[in-house]
Amino acid sequence: MTRAHFPGIAAMAAVVVTSNILVQFLVGDWLTWGAFTYPFAFLVTDLMNRLHGPRAARQVILAGFVVGLVCSFVGSQIEGPFGPIVSLRVAIASATAFLVGQLLDVAVFNRLRQGSWWRAPFVASVAGSILDTVIFFSLAFSATFSFIAPHVDVAWANEIVPLLGRGPAAPLWQSLAIADFSVKFAIAVFALAPFRVAIGRYLNRV
């Protein structure tokens, strides 16, 4: 690890901490404010990958993973109206989704890095976001994985409701997952602009 990696580590830590705080605040029926900050973790990873290579990107991911574990521990010690604000299931789901999704991002980015400038960050972010979303919402809320922490009540997340309020009947957590991924996808598109600008500025300095 070199000093050049510290901005990436700081940026990833900021995204993880901010997202862990904002996830406590709802936006509408399906989202939290954290859904709008967390996807920028993929931008941080992709910038580090493009500028310093996959090893640096993985080091930044590891730093974010450790920060996420600390945030989950702190959250597990804070009592909300229905128990700790971070349950064991959510902590496990969050850590697993972050690590696996980010590492997939690095792998896909590396496979596509020789193509058009936008293809690697966009495809990698979308692929990582899909896996991140599936892992998190399944492990955190699906009744299938209740064995992870049988004492954690996720009955509310498995209530059968119209998908996103107007589609076929499905467990509530699936609506939450689709809404969350929609934001991730939109930010993957939006983040192409700051990615391009950051790369251009870096190249002009070296």
Q: Which of 81, 181, 171, 79 is nearest to 129 (CA)?
A: 181
Examine the pLDDT at 170 and tell me if it is beyond 90: yes
Domain count, the chain: 1
How confident is the model at residue 206, as a pLDDT? 56
DSSP characters over the chain: --GGGHHHHHHHHHHHHHHHHHTTSEETTTEEGGGGTTTHHHHHHHHHHHHH-HHHHHHHHHHHHHHHHHHHHHHHTSEETTEESS-HHHHHHHHHHHHHHHHHHHHHHHHHTTS-TTHHHHHHHHHHHHHHHHHHHHHHH-GGGGGG-TTS--GGGG-EEEGGGTSSEEEHHHHHHHHHHHHHHHHHHHTHHHHHHHHHHHHHH-
Radius of gyration of the chain (CA): 17
Print the domain residue range for 29.
3-205
User: Which phi and psi angles does 26 have, rounded to 5°?
Assistant: -80, 150
Examine the pLDDT at 41 and tell me if it is beyond 90: yes
Examine the pLDDT at 1 and tell me if it is beyond 70: no
Quick: pLDDT tens for 114-157: 989 999 999 999 999 999 999 999 999 999 999 999 998 999 99
CATH number where 77 lies: 1.10.1760
Lowest mean pLDDT among 1-5, 98-102, 188-192: 1-5
Contact 48, 60 (CB under 8 A): yes
Banded pLDDT at 47 (limits 50, 70, 90): very high
Quick: pLDDT tens for 62-100: 999 999 999 999 998 888 776 788 999 999 999 999 999
